[in-house]
Structure 1
Amino acid sequence: MKPTLLVLAAGMGSRYGGLKQIDPIGPSNETIIDYSIYDAIEAGFGKIVFVIRESFEKEFKEIFNAKLAGKIEVAYVNQEIGNVPEGASFNPDREKPWGTGHAILMAKDCINEPFAVINADDYYGVEAFTTMANFLKNSITEQEYGMVGYQLANTISENGSVSRGVCSTNADDHLVTVVERTHIEKLKEGIAYKEDDKWIPLAGETTVSMNFWGFTPQLFKHLEEQFISFLAAEGEALTSEFYIPSVVAKIIEGGNTKVKVLKSDAQWFGVTYREDKEKAAKAILELVEKGIYPAKLWS
């Protein structure tokens, strides 16, 4: 059975200033998602599931249905504030959904096979998709999930703060824990994260999660249970986030499942801010010039 790729594309791009999911960066108007899907198809994935928002559903589907028709199976699910487990309650004044853990939970009814998760606005690299596909096809179990790890220094934006899942691992390359740090910046003194108005340094070689995960459908049971508990504790808050790294950390704490950190030499870049677009477009052009991608990706 071929694995599925779940693409988290429901963000509204507040820091970017628009829908970066569909903003072209390639020489023939390709988006970053296009390159991820191209790499996924080449690596042997059999289905793409997009998590999007109802507000841009029509435009998004028109773009990707046309590109992917006949190339791979495609499905869509919406992430909206009201999509919560039956009986759960939350603050009616809240304006945005609940983060990456909530986004993944939206796909529970259309994924029945091992699957990978990626962000729509991150470029992960050819080797990363090959590595993850091999893991999903040959190694993943209910007792061992996977995650492609990246070095923190290679994932920092020059244009502002970023959120990263900061990882600690053991000698067997399994996660010990992963903590979502929501404000990491490159300062004059080096890379650091901000917590309670204090800056705490982080080494550039620190392993971080860029939300490239490998799971089995059993994850949805964990997600639903943890999300119900999360809403009971945080549902009245207007900005609380249900992050997938936090979910994974609790699964690891449970002691029944490990998470293998998959080594990859893949190049990463992303578009958190509008100013990141020029750098991303230049990186893609260099890959095209090296012959990694055709100039017209879907020709």
Structure 2
Amino acid sequence: MSKPTLLILAAGMASRYGSLKQIDGFGPHEETIIDYSIYDAIRAGFGKVVFIIREEFVEKMRAVFDKKLSGKIEVDYAFQSFDLTKFGIDSVIERTKPWGTAHAVMSAKDHINEPFCVVNADDFYGKDAFEKMAAFLRNEVTDERMALMGFKVGNTMSDYGYVSRGVCDVDGDGNMVSVTERTNIYYVTDDAGNRKIVYEEDGKQHDLNPDTRVSMNFWGFTPRIFDVAQSMFSKFVEANGDNPKSEFFIPSVPDYMVKNDMASFRVIPTSSKWFGVTYKEDKPIVQESISSLIKEGVYPEKLF
């Protein structure tokens, strides 16, 4: 079997961060968060990395990654654009915001022919997650059996504002029953002074157990996902084309496949504490976390 591919979603605009965080430096030698993901992927046995980016960023991305990764892992770039004709949609819809993470994955269809893992560019997942996903993609994945890494939501929060997470309902066998994208998850303090996690929907707050498993867009797929997503995307555009803020999120595709008996998705548990950069204020925390991991010997001081 061919080595699995790592697909990195790096086309976001980083509106809450204020700059192009995909290439911002966090390690002692200005390593990006992406560098740590790729380092973990290489030692876990991945054979290729594909970046999903906006085309206008390609020269900046190449300048940061091509030389350092040469000879270590195959590198490719795919572009997420507003042109819908490649997905069989003739409509011209004016937007300033990309169509969402599932649309980003679809944009890599012509670049991936093997089992692959999807991750965000601005999330630090850790060695354990990549090793577990690589093992799954080598030994278990099929068109009818895919997976996601299940993080505890309490290990994935930011102290500086809301986050978006795919909240999972998991059965007794560790399989996903459903996954729902929640775009407003944050901390609140109750009347007794206790901090708790809530998500907001239709203007109301709902409690969320900190042990609830959530998706951090760390998915294990086969190329079958491209065709399923494309068939769903056509309907999504038809229903949401006049809403400039609508987004076609990755969790909607596995959720649809599970509910229609097209595939099962294993929720691979990890106790790893996620960290990432949603807000500028997150940066020093990420830098401190990486420094601690280097001191513990998890990563060398200089990756590449």
- Per the TM superposition, whether the score is higher than 0.5 is yes
Q: Tell me the residue number matched to 1:213.
A: 219
Quick one: which amino acid aligns to residue 282 of structure 2?
A: D
Q: Tell me the residue number matched to 2:193.
A: none
Contact 1:270 1:280 in 2 (8 A): yes
Q: Tell me the residue number matched to 1:181.
A: 182
User: Are residue 258 (structure 1) and residue 259 (structure 2) matched?
Assistant: no
Instruction: Kindly report which structure 2 residues correspond to 1:275-286, keeping only aligned pairs within 5 A, or say none.
Output: 275-286=281-292
- Deviation, 1:66, is 1.4
Residues in 1 aligned to 2:186 and 2:92: alpha-carbon distance in whole angstroms = 32
Contact 1:90 1:236 in 2 (8 A): no
Q: Tell me the residue number matched to 1:117.
A: 118
Q: Tell me the residue number matched to 2:49.
A: 48
Give the secondary structure class of the aligned counterpart of 1:239. coil
Which of 243, 246, 258 is the matching residue for 1:240? 246
Length-normalised TM-score, structure 1: 0.97
Q: Tell me the residue number matched to 1:79.
A: 80
Residues in 1 aligned to 2:290 and 2:220: alpha-carbon distance in whole angstroms = 25
Residues in 1 aligned to 2:92 and 2:266: alpha-carbon distance in whole angstroms = 34
Quick one: which amino acid aligns to residue 133 of structure 1?
A: A
- Deviation, 1:267, is 3.1
Residues in 1 aligned to 2:34 and 2:107: alpha-carbon distance in whole angstroms = 19
Quick one: which amino acid aligns to residue 285 of structure 1?
A: S
Q: Tell me the residue number matched to 1:224.
A: 230
Flag structure 2 segments of 5+ consecutive residues without an equivalent.
Answer: 191-195
Contact 2:185 2:197 in 1 (8 A): yes
Residues in 1 aligned to 2:180 and 2:270: alpha-carbon distance in whole angstroms = 21
Contact 2:162 2:186 in 1 (8 A): yes
Q: Tell me the residue number matched to 1:198.
A: 204
Give the secondary structure class of the aligned counterpart of 2:110. coil
Residues in 2 aligned to 1:131 and 1:88: alpha-carbon distance in whole angstroms = 41
Residues in 2 aligned to 1:55 and 1:99: alpha-carbon distance in whole angstroms = 18
Q: Tell me the residue number matched to 2:301.
A: 295
Q: Which moved more, 1:159-168 or 1:186-195?
A: 186-195
Length-normalised TM-score, structure 2: 0.96
CA RMSD of aligned residues (A): 1.0
Quick one: which amino acid aligns to residue 157 of structure 1?
A: S
Contact 1:88 1:232 in 2 (8 A): no
For residues 215-256 of structure 1, the C-alpha deviation after alignment (integer angstroms, 9 at most, x for no partner) is: 001110101101111111111211100000011111111112
Give the secondary structure class of the aligned counterpart of 1:213. strand
Give the secondary structure class of the aligned counterpart of 1:275. helix
Residues in 1 aligned to 2:80 and 2:226: alpha-carbon distance in whole angstroms = 15
Runs of 4+ in 1 over 3 A off after TM superposition: none
Residues in 1 aligned to 2:13 and 2:147: alpha-carbon distance in whole angstroms = 28
- Deviation, 1:90, is 4.9
Residues in 2 aligned to 1:87 and 1:110: alpha-carbon distance in whole angstroms = 20
Give the secondary structure class of the aligned counterpart of 1:230. helix
- Deviation, 1:115, is 0.3
Residues in 2 aligned to 1:191 and 1:21: alpha-carbon distance in whole angstroms = 27
Residues in 2 aligned to 1:70 and 1:229: alpha-carbon distance in whole angstroms = 42
Give the secondary structure class of the aligned counterpart of 2:197. strand
Quick one: which amino acid aligns to residue 202 of structure 1?
A: L
Contact 1:163 1:183 in 2 (8 A): yes
- Deviation, 1:45, is 0.1
Flag structure 1 segments of 5+ consecutive residues without an equivalent.
Answer: none
